[in-house]
Amino acid sequence: MNINRLKEIREDKDLSQLELANLLKVTQPQYSRYELGVNTIPLEKLYQLADFYNTSLDYLLYRTDERKPYPKSIMNKK
């Protein structure tokens, strides 16, 4: 995962690492290790970040540059 995206999107919202750590219920040093790419972010935490930023996992994981989330109707069809 390209760690720059996590830092960029956080800074775009004028948020601190501590604020994101509190959201994810991790310590600030733990969140910092996510941004630095030292630790892998658990899928549950990625979902929380995508919901919080109103974006897709693919955007967070650099699989797309489209910041908008996928339409809910696509995700709910089975």
> Is 26 a domain residue?
yes
> Is 76 a domain residue?
no
Domain count, the chain: 1
> Is 72 a domain residue?
no
Polymer length in residues for the chain: 78
pTM over 0.75? The answer is yes
Express each pLDDT in 2-40 by its tens digit: 558 899 999 999 999 999 999 999 999 999 999 998 999
CATH code of the domain covering residue 41:
1.10.260.40
What pLDDT score was predicted for residue 43?
Answer: 96
Q: Let me know: does 9 contact 3? Beta carbons within 8 Å.
A: no
Domain region containing 54: 3-66
Express each pLDDT in 42-58 by its tens digit: 999 999 999 999 999 99
> Is 74 a domain residue?
no
Average pLDDT over residues 46-73: 86
> Is 75 a domain residue?
no
